[in-house]
Chains A and B, each alone.
Chain A
Amino acid sequence: MDALLNLGMGFQHALTPEALLICLFGVTLGTFVGVLPGIGALTTISLCLPLTFHLDPLLGMIMLAGIFYGGQYGSSITSILLNVAGSAPSAVTCLDGYQMTRQGRAGVALFVTTIASFIGGSFAIVLMIFFAPVLADVAVSFSAADYFSIMLLALVTASTLAVGSPLKGLCMVVLGLILGLVGTDINSGQFRYTFGIATLADGISLVALAMGLFGVGEILTNLVSGVLPQLENTRVTLRSMIPSRLDMKQFWMSCTRGTLLGSFVGMLPGTGPTIASFMAYALEKKIAKDPSRFGHGAIEGVTAPEAANNASVQAAFIPTMTLGIPGDAIMAVMIGGLLIHGITPGPQLINENPELFWGVVASFWIGNIMLLVLNLPLIGVWVKILSIPYKLLFPAVLLLISIGVYSVNNSSFDVLLTFVFGMFGFWFNRHGFPSAPLLLGFVLGPMLEENFRRALLLAEGNLGTFIEHRVSFAFLVITLLVMLAAVMTSKIFAFGNSKMESA
């Protein structure tokens, strides 16, 4: 009940006209900027951070948070309509979202995305209201060994992300892991594969990689295939957005799974929404009765990652606000916004600045509702993007990609990398190598290595540490089961079947 009383106070602070207005400003800006490829929530928040220095801390946080989840939502629009990742986490939405667009179901895809995002976000907010301190303690108690095992499971499921040859998918995972090696080794400080280029000491920019593969690469594929994304019927009626009964059945289950997964991943410091959305997609594919539907417009392939994405984004606030331990880079920038006002997030934040904590929590909900109200009517407008002739649209998108990638680090070298990865991604795609596993391998690789080595450093070289930690042990068992299942279904059974057929 305490939580509800506090939440009531939070709403008092978040429902003032200036708070509402700034929240609306945040989510609107976030959505529009999110739609632009390349320039994701992190860039926008970094760029807008100075604005908050002049604002009341609560208003500043509400604005940044609004940009954050607005941007997360907006970037899925680009993925669904143009097959160009609006940001790294929504790259996975391209896989089935764009196929839905090609089947004339763009309206449905955007509709379920909006609803799934809302559900995912709302669930994580409820978690935050009632369980924030407990959950934060649990999340922070995960050791290096636990992290390693969780990441290992993520990686094993990642190899199933691909449509087509599992072997080619595996190649891309390994290639992603290798690209993740580039930069300074966190354990020893050794520079690896930097070739004397100082910018590479910080590693390859995730945005540059994602935009190369899921931006430039996909545009080239479109251009070459001759099948240009074009909407025959530009009228999007309300009816065309309403999912069918079958859609809804698949929607609820996948949305629930995505939400739970996203909330869990989001709470773990250091993970972030890219891992959440990719894992949710892999999970859906793993448990689907007919995995072959994925990559051909399966609605679960859109709802689960989007629910997970938004849930993780909201859940990331749990360790940030209660322990001062930011879940990802975006959270770290937002903490900077509080620092300038002399507020350090930590366990005492809820007690010392209750109006800030609960005001922000309440504004999350208000912001999510605003997103819903703002975007359902806007779906028709977004779909109209497709009525712009593609030959005029794609040069503009390419320019936006260049600027977006540049703005992350103000680095033209990153744009150069986008060029390289674009060419690379396009060529490999043509030979049946998928891009999604590469991206996930890239994100997970450094965490995997770093935590493995740190765990052994802490355990003085005892490999048993991965079994002694309970969480780690549990995840290792699950990983093993997933691998066994994959081997059983793909190799032995396929072999047995073909034998029977020929007999």
Chain B
Amino acid sequence: MLRTKILQFLPAVLLAVTGLGVAALGSSYQVGSLTAMGPGFMPVALGVCLVLLGIALFAGELRIAPKTELGFPLRPVLWVGGGILAWAMLIDVLGFFPASIVQLLFSSFALPQEGWRSVLILALGMTLAAYILFVTLLGVPVPAFGS
């Protein structure tokens, strides 16, 4: 019950806190006035806006009965996110093939797969196809292996 409540109000709180942070950081730039804006004017104005919107959202949620818990689907998020993260980390270090194969293997696990063979074939085939398309034909400058 408490968990549901927290989840219900979390977006509103998060937005308000973000707004606060944006405004606080923004005020470190020169703010100026409406007719002679410094680089800090818009950041502060928008930050304050977001705080107000966050409060309005919070008030709105108070009037709504808490929805049944959405639950957090850990498996797809972890594997899909992990896959992209891995690609971003590996591409500059190990090169195109390792990064791409790792990402394809990772994201495949987001759904139940029937067998590792089709997954492996997909990973290798897709990587090769993508390499030919992007690197060989379109000339994206990434090494196949290594940095």
Contact present between A and B (CB < 8 A): yes
Contact B30 A190 (CB under 8 A): yes
CB proximity of B36 to chain A, nearest CB, Å: 6
Contact A181 B88 (CB under 8 A): no
Docked Cα-Cα span, A136 to B82, in Å, equals: 48
Say which residue of A167, A395, A430 sits within 8 Å of B53 (CB atoms).
Answer: A167
Docked Cα-Cα span, A415 to B91, in Å, equals: 10
Most chain B C-beta atoms within 10 Å of own C-beta, residue among A178, A392, A394, A403? A403
Say which residue of A223, A406, A422, A463 sits within 8 Å of B110 (CB atoms).
Answer: A223
Contact A419 B15 (CB under 8 A): no
Contact B60 A398 (CB under 8 A): no
Contact B46 A178 (CB under 8 A): yes
Docked Cα-Cα span, A148 to B115, in Å, equals: 57
The residues of B that contact A33 with a CB separation of less than 8 Å are: 138
The residues of B that contact A177 with a CB separation of less than 8 Å are: 42, 46
Say which residue of A174, A399, A428 sits within 8 Å of B50 (CB atoms).
Answer: A174
Say which residue of B35, B39, B85 sits within 8 Å of A463 (CB atoms).
Answer: B35
Say which residue of A192, A220, A403 sits within 8 Å of B26 (CB atoms).
Answer: A192
CB proximity of A28 to chain B, nearest CB, Å: 13
The residues of A that contact B144 with a CB separation of less than 8 Å are: none
CB proximity of B51 to chain A, nearest CB, Å: 10
Contact B122 A406 (CB under 8 A): no
Known contacts A412-B88, A419-B88, A426-B77; decide if A453 and B53 are in contact (CB<8 Å).
Answer: no
Known contacts A398-B83, A406-B142; decide if A392 and B118 are in contact (CB<8 Å).
Answer: yes
Docked Cα-Cα span, A188 to B31, in Å, equals: 12
- Please name the residue on chain A nearest to B25 by beta carbon: A193
Range of interface residues on B (Cβ < 8 Å): 35 or more
Docked Cα-Cα span, A194 to B109, in Å, equals: 35
Contact B80 A406 (CB under 8 A): no
CB proximity of A163 to chain B, nearest CB, Å: 17
Contact A167 B60 (CB under 8 A): yes
Docked Cα-Cα span, A247 to B57, in Å, equals: 38
Which residues, 383 to 433 on A, are CB-close (under 8 Å) to B? 390-392, 394-396, 398-403, 406-407, 410, 412-413, 415-416, 418-419, 422-423, 426, 428, 430-431, 433
Interface residue total, chain A, C-beta cutoff 8 A = 63
Contact B85 A419 (CB under 8 A): yes
Q: Is A219 an interface residue (CB 8 A)?
A: yes
Q: Is B56 an interface residue (CB 8 A)?
A: yes
Contact B53 A174 (CB under 8 A): yes
Known contacts A224-B76, A394-B107; decide if A407 and B38 are in contact (CB<8 Å).
Answer: no
Say which residue of B10, B11, B42, B134 sits within 8 Å of A403 (CB atoms).
Answer: B134
The residues of B that contact A406 with a CB separation of less than 8 Å are: 91, 140, 142
Contact B130 A395 (CB under 8 A): no
Q: Is B126 an interface residue (CB 8 A)?
A: yes
Docked Cα-Cα span, A106 to B63, in Å, equals: 40
Docked Cα-Cα span, A456 to B54, in Å, equals: 31
Which residues, 54 to 105 on B, are CB-close (under 8 Å) to A? 54, 56-57, 60, 70, 73, 76-77, 80-81, 83-85, 87-89, 91-92, 100, 103-104
The residues of B that contact A412 with a CB separation of less than 8 Å are: 88-89, 91-92
CB proximity of A390 to chain B, nearest CB, Å: 8
Most chain A C-beta atoms within 10 Å of own C-beta, residue among B15, B47, B100, B107? B107
The residues of B that contact A181 with a CB separation of less than 8 Å are: 26, 42-43, 46
- Please name the residue on chain B nearest to A401 by beta carbon: B84
Most chain A C-beta atoms within 10 Å of own C-beta, residue among B38, B54, B111? B111
The residues of A that contact B139 with a CB separation of less than 8 Å are: 47, 50
Contact B126 A188 (CB under 8 A): no
Contact B77 A175 (CB under 8 A): no
A-B contact pairs, 30 of them (CB 8 A): A48-B138, A50-B139, A167-B60, A181-B42, A181-B43, A190-B29, A216-B84, A220-B80, A223-B73, A224-B76, A392-B118, A394-B110, A395-B103, A396-B122, A398-B103, A399-B103, A399-B127, A402-B87, A402-B103, A403-B140, A410-B140, A410-B142, A412-B92, A415-B87, A418-B84, A428-B11, A431-B11, A431-B70, A452-B37, A462-B35
Given A400-B130, A402-B84, 11 extra CB contacts under 8 A = A174-B49, A174-B50, A216-B84, A223-B73, A391-B112, A399-B126, A406-B142, A413-B88, A415-B88, A423-B81, A453-B37
Q: Can you list the 3 inter-chain pairs with the closest CB atoms, starting with the nearest?
A: A190-B39, A415-B88, A461-B35
